[in-house]
Amino acid sequence: MDTMRHLLFVLVLALFAACAQKPNPESKALALPLEDSIFTTPLGKTYPIPVPNEAALANYEQAKKVYETNTKDVEGLIWYGRRTAYLGRYQKAIAIYSEGIKSFPQDARLYRHRGHRNISIRNYEAAIEDLEKAAALIQGTADQIEPDGLPNAQNIPLSSLHSNVWYHLGLAYYLTQQYEKAYTAYLQCRESGDNYDNIVSSTHWLYLIQLRLGNPERADSLLAPIQKEGIVIENQSYADLCQLYKGWISPDTLFQASPGNPSNDAVNYGLANWYIHQGDSSKGIALLEALVAGKAFTSFGYLAAEGDLMGIFSKKNR
């Protein structure tokens, strides 16, 4: 009996040793800040923050290491914040940018990135404050290409500091129903860069804003820069929507049956509004409701649909 107990004890110890040596694929993720590991939207929908993939974790660890080596290097701090946000740790990213602003209060990039992540967590007033500050700081300065954290297929950075400041400020105004201010911001965005990706993304919002303001003729006039054969690298969804607004393609060819990523959500949001302004509100609102049933809770299409369903298309307003 004693021999049997001894053997069982040895087997248990061996099992524990094997488990201890076996790597836990989520161990790195669990070491990250988890204060915002679950997000609840204003509509009461709850989303767990996904476990990051190995590449994202590796990029985060490298950025963190670079930052900790020299905490006074603003470039390292910005990338540490960006890589943190890509993991879905938005509150932590905001805290990183806030720390940076203490040392670099005149660097527009810090307000631009913090403003973006305040949009992600629906803190729109803080986002507007940040992005208005960034807009003031870039006045009279030369624009600069903003490196991509998630490069496009051609590895060609397309957005700039100025265009990103105006784009996100326009979005924050739009999400708070400040449509005149949103219109001005998106005009600034469109004028800040002449690449076609920038033109179609800003024109999409300019068009929707004028429809919201009850100016369909003005909305149509804003489509003048849209081309049938325009070439985009990143913003195909916005290019397709602008062609829909021009009457060049059918809405049936655009509907995305699988919402849940930023591109599909952008298409379905634009399509929903197109139906509503064509007089088919039931179809448009159904698209908005399907959109917020998806999982990409920080995509701009999702945020806009959520705001619409809480505001002008809420059940009490139907």
Structure pTM?
0.88
Residues in CB range of 276: below 8 A, 6 or more apart: 284, 285, 313
Give the pLDDT confidence score for residue 260 in this predicted structure. Answer: 77
The DSSP code for 49 is P
Distance, in Å, from the CA atom of 42 to the CA atom of 181, rounded to the nearest integer, reads 24
Which DSSP string corresponds to 193-237?
--SHHHHHHHHHHHHHHHHHTT-HHHHHHTTTT--TT---SS-HH
Distance, in Å, from the CA atom of 56 to the CA atom of 220, rounded to the nearest integer, reads 41
Q: What is the mean pLDDT of each run of 10 residues along the chain (318 residues)?
A: 41 38 38 65 93 93 97 97 95 97 98 98 98 98 88 76 98 98 98 93 98 97 96 94 97 84 94 96 96 94 97 83
- Residue ranges of domains in the chain, CATH in brackets: 55-141 (1.25.40.10)
Beta-carbon neighbour count of residue 229 at 10 Å? Answer: 4
Give the pLDDT confidence score for residue 92 in this predicted structure. Answer: 94
